Amino acid sequence: MSDIDIYSLIIIGISALWVMLPAYLPNPVAAALGGGRPIDGGRCWRDGRRIFGDGKTIKGLVFGIVGGVVIGLLQILIQSHAEIVWLPEHTFVSITLLAAGALLGDLSKSFLKRRRGVERGEKWPVADQFDLVIGAFILLLIFDPEWLFSAITIGIAIAILILTPVLHRGTNIIGYALGIKDVPW
């Protein structure tokens, strides 16, 4: 433990947040700005349940991805002006894959929830917290594995696994308190 000092832990934690910001932002943006026509258009799957449900809207998907890309562009802008050598460097491809992957992961999770008979808004532990990480990592693995393996070290990956459920819980409680979310999860 002695060679892993608190200073390097903080750097790993900040790096994890920096890497994941374009994937973390789409969900709260979708919750704040989503609504209107659902992606499935109200249609049901062959099991008689909704394909995705009313919680997955076109507006939420579009604004959420745009929100993630916009924050990512700001990060790229910051990194082009101030060279912070220890921070993983974003690219236009990485921020787009992170933002799109986060909400595609969220959408896939809703599809699986409905197939398992879990109602819209009902809790589905673990999947509700890690859908965005799984979605983002799958897209990166397919379209930019080189970036994935150079930016996300083992330490950063572990930090993402620890920070994601904590942030998820925190933002949902805040969203609930602000009246943006119907339930605190």
Q: Is 34 in the site for ligand CTP (CB under 6 A)?
A: yes
Build a one-symbol-per-residue string for 70-99: x at contacts with ligand CTP by CB under 6 A, - elsewhere: ------------------------------
**Residue 5 beta carbon to ligand CTP: minimum distance, rounded to whole angstroms:** 38
Q: Is 40 in the site for ligand CTP (CB under 6 A)?
A: no
Give residues 97-116 in contact with ligand CTP (rule: CB under 6 A). Answer: 103, 106, 110, 113
Interface with ligand CTP: number of residues (CB under 6 A): 18
Give the CA diameter of the chain: 57
Rounded to whole angstroms, how far apart are CA atoms 74 and 127?
A: 29
What are the φ/ψ torsions at residue 69 (nearest 5 degrees)? Answer: -70, -40
CA–CA distance, 20 with 161 (Å, rounded to integer): 11
The reply to whether 135 sits near ligand CTP by the rule CB under 6 A is: no
User: Does 129 participate in binding ligand CTP (rule CB under 6 A)?
Assistant: no
Token reading at 76 = 């790229």
Query: Pick from 125, 92, 88: which is nearest to 109 by CA?
Result: 125
What are 151's two structure tokens?
């930016």
Residue 60 binds ligand CTP (CB under 6 A): yes
Tell me which of 66, 120, 155, 176 binds ligand CTP, using CB under 6 A: 120
Q: Should residue 56 be labelled a site residue for ligand CTP when binding is judged by CB under 6 A?
A: yes
Q: Give the ranges where the chain is alpha helix by DSSP (H).
A: 6-24, 26-33, 58-81, 92-115, 127-143, 145-151, 154-177
Interaction between residue 61 and ligand CTP (CB under 6 A): yes
**CB contact burial 106-131 (16+ within 10 A = b; e otherwise):** bbbbbbebbeeebeeeeeeeebbbbb
Minimum distance between the CB of residue 40 and ligand CTP, rounded to whole angstroms? 11
CB 139 → ligand CTP: shortest distance, Å? Answer: 16
Task: In whole angstroms, give the CA distance from residue 68 to residue 98.
Answer: 8
Could you list the residues that contact ligand CTP (CB under 6 A)?
Answer: 30-31, 34-35, 53, 55-57, 60-61, 103, 106, 110, 113, 120-122, 181
